[in-house]
């Protein structure tokens, strides 16, 4: 896990990365640009629950044939940050509200982007990836055997935060956010996660922009 040590306060915020902080999905962008095989077919199998996210990531990582320099340049030139997140993160820091990122993609892409955006003070977890011209290597330091959804089990990060905080909010947008959205004290959901919450009957606040979340969280504290 990168970033600053854990700080014990009443409120903690757990936030997804791709499509939530990053304006689009960094893992998909890398696959689209550099994967030499049919990564989308693998993605569709995972989406249909025919294979797990972990198995999909394993296969997809080996398809990406690019070294760190070229991949890093590509990410810095093409990936954007969603407007308002930086202000929100800085406000959390000033008010000692614990903020942590959890991602179920290729961890290395997050490391590069957070550093480039000067947001590498935010702690984060993801799957561990090493870029390689002969195919990326991936390992799963936060895997939980009994997690039905994730390779980087987002619900176990929620449980860890919940041990030290009265309320843990979750903010996300995608299918890998399903298990944590069922446990969090308050969920902000957009896109696929919003569809899942509606289908599963999970209480959530729909969002499109970070300033909407910012205003609601300010009201809470």
The contact set with Mg ion (CB under 5 A) reads: 16, 18-19, 173-174
Question: Total binding residues for Zn ion by CB under 5 A?
Answer: 5
Task: Give every strand in the sheet of 11-15, ordered side by side.
Answer: 137-139, 124-130, 98-106, 11-15, 167-172, 186-189, 205-206
- Residue from the set 31, 56, 147, 184 that interacts with Zn ion by CB under 5 A: 147
Q: Which is nearer to Mg ion, 26 or 35 (CB)?
A: 26
Question: How far apart (Å, rounded) are the C-alpha atoms in residues 138 and 116?
Answer: 22
> Which residues have C-beta within 8 Å of that of residue 146, sequence separation ≥ 6?
none
Q: 194: which residues sit within 8 A by CB, 6+ positions away?
A: 173, 204, 206
Phi, psi of 74 (to 5 degrees): -60, -45
43 contact choice in Zn ion, Mg ion, none (CB below 5 to 8 Å, kind-dependent): none
Taking the least distance from each CB to Mg ion, the nearer of 57 and 145 is: 57
Closer to Mg ion by CB, 66 or 196: give it.
Answer: 196
Q: Which residue number has the CB closest to Mg ion?
A: 174
**CA pair distance 180, 186, nearest whole angstrom:** 10
Of 155, 161, 171, 193, which one interacts with Zn ion (CB under 5 A)? Answer: 155
DSSP-assigned letters across all residues of 78-120: H--B-TTHHHHHHHHHHTT-EEEEEEEEEHHHHHHHHHHTT-T
**Does residue 103 belong to the site contacting Zn ion (CB under 5 A)?**
no
Residues 167-186 that bind Zn ion (CB under 5 A): 179
Beta carbon nearer to Mg ion, 131 or 174: 174
- 43 versus 173: smaller Cβ distance to Mg ion: 173
List residues bridging with 18 in a β-sheet: 22
Q: How far is the CB of 17 from Mg ion (least distance, A)?
A: 7
196 interacts with, out of Zn ion, Mg ion, none, CB within 5 to 8 A per kind: none
- Shortest Cβ 103–Mg ion spacing (Å): 7
Q: Minimum Å distance from CB 158 to Zn ion? A: 8
Residue 125: name the closest of 154, 145, 94 by CA. Answer: 154
- Least separation in angstroms between CB 121 and Mg ion: 21
- In the complex with Mg ion, the residue whose CB is nearer, 107 or 174, is 174
How many whole angstroms separate alpha carbon 122 and alpha carbon 124?
Answer: 6
Residues forming contacts to Zn ion in the complex (CB under 5 A) are 147, 150, 153, 155, 179
């Amino acid at each position: 896990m990168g970033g600053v040590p854990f700080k014990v306060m009443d409120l903690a915020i757990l936030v997804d990365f791709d499509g939530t902080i990053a304006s689009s999905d960094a893992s998909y962008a890398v696959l689209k640009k550099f994967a030499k095989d049919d990564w989308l077919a693998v993605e569709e199998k995972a989406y249909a629950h025919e294979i797990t996210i972990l198995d999909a990531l394993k296969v997809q990582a080996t398809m990406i044939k690019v070294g760190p320099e070229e991949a890093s340049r590509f990410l810095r030139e093409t990936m954007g940050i969603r407007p308002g997140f930086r202000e929100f993160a800085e406000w959390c820091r000033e008010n000692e509200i614990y903020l942590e990122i959890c991602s179920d993609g290729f961890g290395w892409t997050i490391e590069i982007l957070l550093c480039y955006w000067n947001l590498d003070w935010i702690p984060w977890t993801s799957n561990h990836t090493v870029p390689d011209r002969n195919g990326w290597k991936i390992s799963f330091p936060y895997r939980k055997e009994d997690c039905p959804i994730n390779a980087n089990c987002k619900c176990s990060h929620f449980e860890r935060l919940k041990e030290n905080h009265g309320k843990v909010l979750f903010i996300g947008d995608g299918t890998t956010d399903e298990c944590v959205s069922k446990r969090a004290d308050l969920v902000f959901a957009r896109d696929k996660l919003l569809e899942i919450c509606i289908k599963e009957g999970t209480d959530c606040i729909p969002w499109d922009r970070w300033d909407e979340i910012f205003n609601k969280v300010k009201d809470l504290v």
